[in-house]
């Protein structure tokens, strides 16, 4: 498989930390950085997937193309979350909505 080179710039302290950690793991810096970058990519892709629906609902409300009730339709509240919310904001009975 063809390889592509990336050039990155970072301060000496971070570079030393990366080299040290890679060495402790028995990896070369390139393999360590590739693994770290791919883990970050997968994490960010998963966040986009998990929050896609709520982000679209927020965008619709902010754009004025959906009413708040319409955007909140089908979203159930969790009594435990409501209790924590109420306790935090000291607004018993008002819930998280």
pLDDT one-digit tens code per residue, 7-16 = 999 999 999 9
pLDDT for 73 equals 60
State the pTM of this model.
0.56
25 contacts: CB under 8 Å, gap ≥ 6? 32
**Would you mind telling me the total number of residues written for the chain in this entry?**
97
What average pLDDT does range 52-75 have in this prediction? 73
The 10s digit of each residue's pLDDT in 20-52 is 999 999 999 999 999 999 999 999 999 888 888
91 contacts: CB under 8 Å, gap ≥ 6? none
The 10s digit of each residue's pLDDT in 66-94 is 665 655 565 667 777 777 777 777 655 55
């Amino acid at each position: 498989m063809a390889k592509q080179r990336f050039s990155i710039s970072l301060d000496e302290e971070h570079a030393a930390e990366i080299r040290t950690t890679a060495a402790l793991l028995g990896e070369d810096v390139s393999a360590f950085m590739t693994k770290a970058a791919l883990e970050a990519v997968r994490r960010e892709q998963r966040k986009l997937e998990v929050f896609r629906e709520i982000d679209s609902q927020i965008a619709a409300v902010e754009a004025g193309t959906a009413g708040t009730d319409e955007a909140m339709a089908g979203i159930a509240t969790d009594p435990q979350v409501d209790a924590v919310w109420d306790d935090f904001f000291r607004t018993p009975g008002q819930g998280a909505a």
